[in-house]
């Protein structure tokens, strides 16, 4: 289903089709998931932008599709392919307990309050990646706290694909 940025006031949002899945409200718009039919109906009433493609992440020459509600469960069962280096860990091996860099992708345009919540877990913001994502340095325990507290869409080891699928 397409992910849309719909420019509607708080009052106008009540007229959105009940079949849409609200992802996140903002002051000037909402981010939501809608069927193509619902998206067409919304487009007749409100300005909108399909932002589905803005969730893709690039790691060097490797592109990852975003994790969505429809493919997240299937992706979680798959393991990523092992790196070509013989010294690398096998796919599915757990990371050691020390801190690591993670890619945290948020559900939409990043709110400062989400970054503040992430900092409160002890995570260190390292660099914005674009496409609603940041590279953060965190311990595994911080990762577990950060995801539900922030509107994180996915949180995976940098370059990993536990919550995204190779495109």
Asked if 138 and 121 touch (Cβ cutoff 8 Å), the reply is: yes
Whether 129 maps to a domain, the answer reads yes
Residue 64 inside a domain? The answer is yes
Please tell me whether residues 27 and 76 are part of one structural domain: no
**Same domain? 61 vs 41:** no
Q: In this structure, are 111 and 72 located in the same domain?
A: yes
Residue 90 lies in a domain: no
The tokens for 13 are 């949002």
Q: Are strands 3-6 and 30-33 parallel, antiparallel or unpaired?
A: antiparallel
**Confidence check: pLDDT of 15 > 60:** yes
Q: How many CB atoms lie within 10 A of CB 136?
A: 25
pTM metric for this prediction: 0.71
Residues 44 and 64 in one domain: no
The CATH number of residue 134's host domain is 3.30.70
**Does residue 75 sit in helix, strand or coil?**
helix
Q: Output Rg (C-alpha) for the chain, integer angstroms.
A: 17
Strand intervals (E) in the chain:
3-6, 21-25, 30-33, 48-50, 57-59, 62-65, 100-106, 124-130, 133-138, 152-157, 165-166
Does 22 lie in the same domain as 63?
no
Tell whether 65 and 127 lie within a shared domain. yes
Give the integer Cα–Cα distance in Å for 32 and 12: 14
Reduce the DSSP state of residue 64 to 3 states and report it.
strand
Domain identity same for 78 and 131: yes
Residue 8 is part of which domain span? 3-50
- On whether the CB atoms of residues 112 and 155 are closer than 8 A, the answer is no
What are the pLDDT digits (tens) for 78-136? 434 444 443 444 445 566 777 888 888 889 999 999 999 888 888 899 999 989 999 88
Task: Tell me: do 139 and 104 sit in the same domain.
Answer: yes
Q: Are residues 25 and 70 in the same domain?
A: no
Phi, psi angle pair for 93, to nearest 5°:
-65, 145
Tens-place pLDDT, residues 86-98: 344 444 556 677 7
Q: Residues with Cβ < 8 Å from 131, sequence gap 6 or more?
A: 54, 55, 56, 57, 105
Q: Are residues 128 and 146 in the same domain?
A: yes
Residues 26 and 43 in one domain: yes
State how many domains the chain has. Answer: 2
Q: Are both 43 and 104 inside the same structural domain?
A: no
């Amino acid at each position: 289903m397409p992910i849309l940025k719909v420019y509607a006031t708080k009052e106008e949002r009540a007229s959105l089709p009940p079949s849409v899945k609200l992802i996140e409200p903002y002051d000037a718009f909402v981010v939501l998931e809608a069927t193509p039919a619902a998206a067409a109906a919304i487009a007749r009433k409100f300005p909108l932008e399909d932002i589905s493609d803005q969730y893709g992440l690039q790691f060097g020459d490797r592109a990852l599709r975003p994790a969505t509600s429809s493919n997240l469960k299937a992706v979680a069962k798959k393991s990523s392919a092992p790196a070509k280096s013989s010294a690398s860990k096998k796919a599915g091996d757990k990371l050691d307990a020390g801190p690591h860099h993670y890619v945290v992708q948020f559900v939409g345009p990043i709110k400062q309050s989400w970054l503040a919540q992430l900092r409160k877990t002890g995570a260190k913001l390292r660099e914005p990646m674009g496409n609603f994502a940041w590279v953060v340095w965190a311990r595994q325990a911080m990762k577990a706290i950060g995801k539900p507290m922030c509107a994180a869409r996915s949180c995976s080891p940098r370059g990993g694909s536990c919550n995204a699928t190779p495109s």
